[in-house]
Amino acid sequence: MATREIAGKEIEVNEEGFMTNPAQWDKEIAEVIAKEEGITELSPAHWQVIDYCRKTAAANGSAPTLRAITNGAGVTTKDLFTLFPKGPAKKVARISGLGKPEGCV
């Protein structure tokens, strides 16, 4: 398993750069990854989605799909694409410290 330094911490990642151990995640890591993904600041709306995804993954064992996020986090698909442009399910999973959602390419 590969590792990389994020926010001064050695983090386990897979070949696509997704964290493999969600327990290593914290909000500082989320902010660094968000910047790497082109999101300069995480708003309360971003955190609402991130928190939902982390809770869902803890309960189900995997990152939620786009449809699950829009149904469960209280955001529209359009809003999700505004918050996390160009592949929101994948971006929010990466920022949330989760693996790639099923069905993402």
The residue among 66, 102, 68 whose CA lies nearest residue 81 is 66
104 included as an active-site residue: yes
3-state DSSP helix/strand/coil % of the chain, to nearest 5: 50, 10, 40
Q: Which of 32, 45, 68, 104 is catalytic?
A: 104
CA dihedral 30, 53, 68, 1 (to 10 degrees): 70
* Positions marked active-site: 104
